[in-house]
Amino acid sequence: MEKELIIEARNLKQYFRISDRYTIRAVDGVSFQIHSGEVLGLVGETGCGKSTIARTLAGIYQPTEGEVLFGNMPVSGKNASKEQRKKMQREMQLVFQDSSAALNPRMTVEKIVLEPLRIQKTTRDRAASRQRLLELLSQVGLDDTYLEKYPNELSGGQRQRVAIARSLMLHPKLIIADEPISSMDISIQAQIVTLFQRLQREQGFSMLFIAHDLSVIRFISDTVGVMLHGRIVELAPSKELFDHPLHPYTRSLLSAIHVPDPIYERSKKVIDYDRDSPLGTVLAERSPGHFVLE
Ligand SMILES: Nc1ncnc2c1ncn2[C@@H]1O[C@H](COP(=O)(O)OP(=O)(O)OP(=O)(O)O)[C@@H](O)[C@H]1O
Ligand SMILES: [Mg+2]
């Protein structure tokens, strides 16, 4: 059976006009698909356009060119279907680096996690809501003693757990997680990534997971997109990408991963990649599902 297509970016471009003479091409012709239950990881240096993709998918920005499709229907541009946009808003949730900091400081954990029900005006009886609330808290590793706590009484990791519980309240089909761990201590990062992976496997939602750290991307993603200057320069199934990186930029990223093996360390050469080398525009398929920008 064909897997259900959840979201698609088609030749997405997002330009920011700064002045008459200066336009930032934050996203410059990006295409990918995420199917049901799939995790697409996006990695690339700061400023390469990852968050802009997340915001454009979420409908916060209208693309300069190209299209976003949700469940095969356009949700951006002139052809956008209003109903489908609404459906997307219900079925897509965002988790950001600072989403834990953005929790309303005057609301208790209980109110925060239940908020999506109120916003979407979903009718649900109190007992069922309460049961879902407790279920979600336990899924993110918090017990009912947290219900009456306020965000400032929680650690950063606990706040992100609350933000994740809230994002799951309406059984989303897609989670967009934009560097959801980068503001945390390393040990907490590992806990939260493992939590994301477990929840994704249990609940089967699709995910766009953005991270700086290649080892995190490798751990959580089915497919990996490597971004450089607003483009995905290489896109491949995770194992394929890490075993057979083809683009020089991907290779240079991989060669920089710290491998704590002294023999390997001594023989390792960091491959330099000329960031100014001209990139073509053709996506060539080298092996099934493995695309490289030439
Ligand atoms: N609203 C905006 N107006 C103007 N320029 C913007 C806007 N948003 C992003 N940019 C620019 O677009 C480029 C891509 O930014 P973006 O935030 O998408 O990068 P990123 O890959 O998420 O980086 P990081 O890893 O640091 O989060 C940057 O040059 C940034 O300055
Ligand atoms: Mg970003």
The CATH number linked to 186 is 3.40.50.300
Does 123 map to a domain?
no
The SS3 of residue 100 is coil
- The CA distance from 9 to 252, in Å, is 26
Give the per-residue pLDDT at 286.
Answer: 66
Give the per-residue pLDDT at 99.
Answer: 73
> CB of 14 within 8 A of CB of 56?
yes
Alpha carbon nearest to ligand 1 atom 31, residue: 47
Does 120 map to a domain?
no
Give the per-residue pLDDT at 281.
Answer: 44
Does 277 map to a domain?
yes
Q: What is the chain's pLDDT, residue by residue, as a tens digit (294 residues)? A: 678 999 999 999 999 999 999 999 999 999 999 999 999 999 999 999 999 999 999 999 999 999 999 999 999 988 899 999 999 999 999 998 877 778 999 999 999 999 988 887 766 688 888 999 999 999 999 999 999 999 999 998 999 999 999 999 999 999 999 999 887 888 889 999 999 999 999 999 999 999 988 889 999 999 999 999 999 999 999 999 999 888 889 998 988 765 555 554 554 444 445 444 444 444 566 677 888 886
- The CA distance from 39 to 95, in Å, is 14
Cα of 33 to ligand 2 centre, how many Å?
20
Indicate whether residue 200 lines ligand 1 (CB < 6 A): no
For the whole model, what pTM was predicted?
0.90
Structural domains counted in the chain: 1
Does 207 map to a domain?
yes
Does 62 map to a domain?
yes
Ligand 1 site-directed mutation target among 12, 30, 50, most atoms within 8 Å of CB: 50
Does 202 map to a domain?
yes
Indicate whether residue 46 lines ligand 1 (CB < 6 A): yes
Alpha carbon nearest to ligand 1 atom 25, residue: 46
> CB of 207 within 8 A of CB of 39?
yes
Give the per-residue pLDDT at 280.
Answer: 43
Does 121 map to a domain?
no
Q: Which residues span the domain enclosing 44?
A: 5-100+174-293
Does 149 map to a domain?
no
Q: Which residue's structure tokens are 């710290």?
A: 258
